[in-house]
Amino acid sequence: MSLYDRNRALNTKSVQETQNTDFGRSYENYASEQVSPSSRSVFIRQTYQLLAASLLAGTAGAYIGLHVLKTFSWLFLILEFALLFGLIMSKKKPALALFMLFGFTFVSGLTLGPTLNYYVGRGMGDVIAQAFLLTTAAFGGLSVFAMYSKRDFSVWGKFLFIALIVVVVASLINIFTQSSVLALVISSVGAILFSAYILYDTQMIIRGGYDSPVLAAVALYLDILNLFISLLQILGAINNNR
């Protein structure tokens, strides 16, 4: 995976997390409201339905990008950020928000295409499959744990965001140093960080930390995408050292 693509993913997550501080509600605020269990279950179901559709859109974009885009394009990066910003701004307009959501996830898949092409071109297609399976297993296990755990992960927000900033800064530094050891450390920390974000965002969704299923779905999508990218680089580094 190229360093630039990893930085792109981390920066995207940073933008989304910042917006969560504006749109999210704390667990305490949620507990004080009269929200019926049925309304909450509908919100959760809608969130995961949108997440599933978003993952399909992202996969379709990645498949097309793998076969069409051989090099990274700044145009798609700019478009990706524009769609994410549009998604956040249009959260009160359901139809437009859905368009922005699927547009963003599809384009994020396109920008991932050159990275996937890098591994395929070097005979490491199995690394992509391994990263995908590990990401799927991790997301499933962490989601179930967050749903049934009595521990409150919603208090992790500030700590996770600070850790995210540190990872982003380290990634930017490594663009100039080009240290393979630092790159591996960053990816390892990133894998742990976004695993923690899955716990955090899942519990925030269950406890009413989001007021829009679209924003909740894109938060989980970014967690999954960034975890996949981190695992992809870790496995790629291990494969190169054999």
Query: Over its length of 242 residues, how does the chain's per-residue pLDDT go in tens digits?
Result: 333 333 334 334 443 443 343 333 333 333 334 456 778 899 999 999 999 999 999 999 999 988 887 776 778 888 998 999 999 888 788 899 999 999 999 999 999 988 999 999 888 889 999 999 999 999 999 999 999 998 999 889 999 999 999 999 999 999 898 898 999 999 999 999 999 999 999 999 998 889 899 999 999 999 999 999 999 999 999 887 66
Per-residue burial over 31-66, b if 16 or more Cβ lie within 10 Å, else e, is eeeeeeeeeeeebbeebbebbebbbebbeebbeebb
What's the pLDDT score for residue 146?
A: 95
What's the pLDDT score for residue 211?
A: 87
Beta strands, E only, the chain: none
Domain boundaries, the chain: 39-241
* Pair 98, 54: CB distance under 8 Å: no
pTM tops 0.85, yes or no: no
CA 121, 126, 130, 135 dihedral sign is positive
* Pair 226, 210: CB distance under 8 Å: no
CA dist 207 and 30 (Å) reads: 7
